[in-house]
Structure formats: structure tokens, C-alpha cells
Amino acid sequence: VNHVTCALCDTVCTSVSSLKAHIRFRHCDERPFHCHLCDSGFKNAYDLHKHVETHNDSDAYSCDVEGCGFTSRTLRTLTQHYKRV
């Protein structure tokens, strides 16, 4: 099994490709994925996609606990709400 160590923080990765991803996400400030609705930039397409959901005017997710009334634009926020409450 080959292990590759990051020269910047000594993290051990299992492949060169995973090392490249590690360096890009942990050690680089480059944010090539830009929101077309605001000036925000992101390191990957998934984070951009989740951000764009926050621009939605309607609250797509709501708590199903009777009497709660909590609503959210993202599923992640609703999930966090369930964990808190």
C-alpha cells in the first residue's frame, strides 16, 4: 500500500490524487466556483450548489413537529434544527 505524506501538514493520503485534493481543499485559497447571484466563491461545485439554494425566496423545508413552524431554505439547516430541538 502506497502512502503519500503532505509536505505542508504531514497528513497521510492513500494516493497522489487524494493528496492533490487534500492540498486544494486544506491549503489553497482558490475558489473557482462562483455564485451567479452574489460575489461568493467556493472550492467545489457541491458547496456552490448548496449556497445557491440559500438565494431561493421560498422556504422549501419545514419542521413537521406540530406547532413548531420552523422553515428553512436548505435541508441541512432543517436537519440541524431537528438535532437542536
Residue 16 covered by a domain:
no
Rounded to two decimals, the pTM is 0.53
> Which domain range does residue 71 map to?
33-83
Count of structural domains within the chain: 1
Q: What secondary structure letter does DSSP report for 69?
A: -
Quickly tell me which residue has 413537529 as its cell: 65
Rg (CA), the chain: 18
Ranges of beta strands (E only) in 1-85 are 4-5, 12-13, 33-34, 41-42, 61-62, 71-72
Residue 45 covered by a domain:
yes
Residue 26 covered by a domain:
no
Residue 20 covered by a domain:
no
Residue 72 covered by a domain:
yes
User: Which one, of 24, 22, 23, lies nearest residue 43 by Cα?
Assistant: 24
Residue 27 covered by a domain:
no
Residue 77 covered by a domain:
yes
Residue 51 covered by a domain:
yes
Task: Note the pLDDT tens digit of each residue in 23-64.
Answer: 988 999 889 999 998 989 998 899 998 888 788 766 678 899
Q: How far apart are the first and last CA of the chain?
A: 45
Task: Note the pLDDT tens digit of each residue in 6-33.
Answer: 999 989 999 999 999 899 889 998 899 9
